[in-house]
C-alpha cells in the first residue's frame, strides 16, 4: 500500500489521492508495529512473576513516628519508594513519598505516620506468584506507582512500576548517598 501510493504519486496518474494512500499505509504500518511490540512485551511479562522483581528489603517504622522525623527521610531516601507502618507491633499500612506530599510541611512535626498511611486492608495487594502483565494492568488502571506484595495476609515486599519494566537479570543501580549537608 505504501509503495503503491508512492509509485502512483510519482507517476502522472495518481496525484493527491496516491499521496493520501501512501500516508494511510504508513499510518497502518506504524500502528501494526506498535501493537505487535506491545503484545510482545505483555507476553514477556506474563512469563515472569512478582517474586522475581519485588523489593523485599523494605523498611518499617512505628506509626506514632512523626512524618518529619529524620528516620522517615532516611527510610524513603534512595531507592525506597514505600515504607511499612507498624501499629501495635504489626505492619498495618504503608506510606509512600507521594502520600507525604499531601501533608503541609509545617505539620510534619505533629503528624504521625499512621495518620497518612494507606491501610493494607484497603490497599491493592498482589501475591508473589502473580504474573507481571496482570499486575501492570492493575497499576495502570488505578494509577499506582507501587503496590504491596502479601502472602497469607502478611506483607512480604513492595513492587514499584520501574521494577516491572526493568529487563530480567538486571539489578537496579545502587542509590548514591546524598552528601551529609543535603540530607533531610
pLDDT attached to residue 3? 60
The three cell numbers locating residue 67: 512524618
pLDDT attached to residue 141? 87
Are 122 and 19 a contacting pair, CB within 8 Å? no
97: left (phi over 0), alpha (psi -120 to 50) or beta: alpha
- Low-confidence stretches of the chain (pLDDT beneath 50): 172-184
pTM exceeds cut of 0.85: no
pLDDT attached to residue 102? 86
By DSSP bridging, strand 118-119 and strand 125-126 are: unpaired
Question: What is the rounded distance in angstroms from the CA atom of residue 139 to the CA atom of residue 74?
Answer: 26
Question: What is the rounded distance in angstroms from the CA atom of residue 182 to the CA atom of residue 184?
Answer: 6
pLDDT attached to residue 38? 65
Tens-digit pLDDT profile for residues 75-86: 887 667 778 888
The three cell numbers locating residue 35: 501493537
Write out the DSSP string of 115-174.
HH-EETTTS-EE-TTSBHHHHHHHHHHHT-SEEEEEETTEEEEEEEHHHHHSPTTPPPPP
Are 146 and 123 a contacting pair, CB within 8 Å? no
pLDDT attached to residue 8? 53
pLDDT attached to residue 112? 94
Question: What is the rounded distance in angstroms from the CA atom of residue 113 to the CA atom of residue 9?
Answer: 67
Question: What is the rounded distance in angstroms from the CA atom of residue 173 to the CA atom of residue 55?
Answer: 13
Are 78 and 125 a contacting pair, CB within 8 Å? no
- Class of 50-182 in CATH: alpha beta
The three cell numbers locating residue 105: 510541611
pLDDT attached to residue 110? 92
Amino acid at each position: 500500500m505504501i509503495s503503491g501510493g508512492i509509485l502512483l504519486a510519482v507517476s502522472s496518474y495518481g496525484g493527491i489521492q496516491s499521496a493520501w494512500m501512501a500516508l494511510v499505509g504508513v499510518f497502518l504500518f506504524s500502528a501494526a508495529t506498535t501493537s505487535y511490540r506491545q503484545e510482545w512485551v505483555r507476553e514477556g511479562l506474563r512469563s515472569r512473576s512478582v517474586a522475581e522483581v519485588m523489593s523485599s528489603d523494605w523498611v518499617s517504622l512505628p506509626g506514632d513516628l512523626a512524618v518529619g522525623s529524620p528516620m522517615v527521610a532516611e527510610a524513603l531516601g534512595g531507592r525506597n519508594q514505600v515504607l511499612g507502618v507498624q501499629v501495635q507491633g504489626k505492619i498495618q499500612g504503608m506510606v509512600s513519598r507521594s502520600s507525604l506530599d499531601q501533608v503541609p510541611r509545617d505539620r510534619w512535626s505533629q503528624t504521625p505516620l499512621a495518620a497518612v498511611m494507606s491501610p493494607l486492608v484497603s490497599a491493592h495487594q498482589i501475591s508473589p506468584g502473580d504474573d507481571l502483565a496482570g499486575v501492570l494492568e492493575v497499576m495502570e488502571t488505578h494509577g499506582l506507582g507501587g503496590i504491596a506484595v502479601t502472602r497469607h495476609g502478611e506483607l512480604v515486599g513492595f513492587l514499584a512500576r520501574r521494577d516491572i519494566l526493568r529487563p530480567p537479570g538486571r539489578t537496579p543501580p545502587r542509590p548514591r548517598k546524598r552528601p551529609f549537608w543535603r540530607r533531610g
